[in-house]
Amino acid sequence: MWELFMGQKPYVYIHYETVIDGIVSNTLRHLVLESCDYEWRSLMEKYWLTEPSKRPCFIKIA
C-alpha cells in the first residue's frame, strides 16, 4: 500500500542491515506523508500492528 501511494520502492535510503534488523524486530515502519488520505493512512497503520490478530482481515478491507 505504501508503495502504491508513494510511487517508489521502500527503504531505498536505509542501509540494508538496518532494514533487516527492523524487519526481524518488527519495528520498521514507513513514513507516511501528511498528504496521504486519512483512510489509506489508517489502513496502513492497522496493518502495522505488531499483534497479527488485531490487524483487519482482507474481507473487511475489500
Q: How far is the CA of 14 from the CAs of 10, 35, 37, in angstroms?
A: 9, 22, 25
Backbone angles phi, psi at 24, to 5 degrees: -65, -40
Q: Which residue type is seen at 34?
A: E
Indicate whether this model's pTM tops 0.75. no
What is the residue extent of each domain of the chain? 2-61
pLDDT number for residue 17: 92
1, HSE (Cβ side, Cα atoms, 13 Å): 17
pLDDT along the chain (62 residues), means of 10: 79 87 81 80 84 86 78
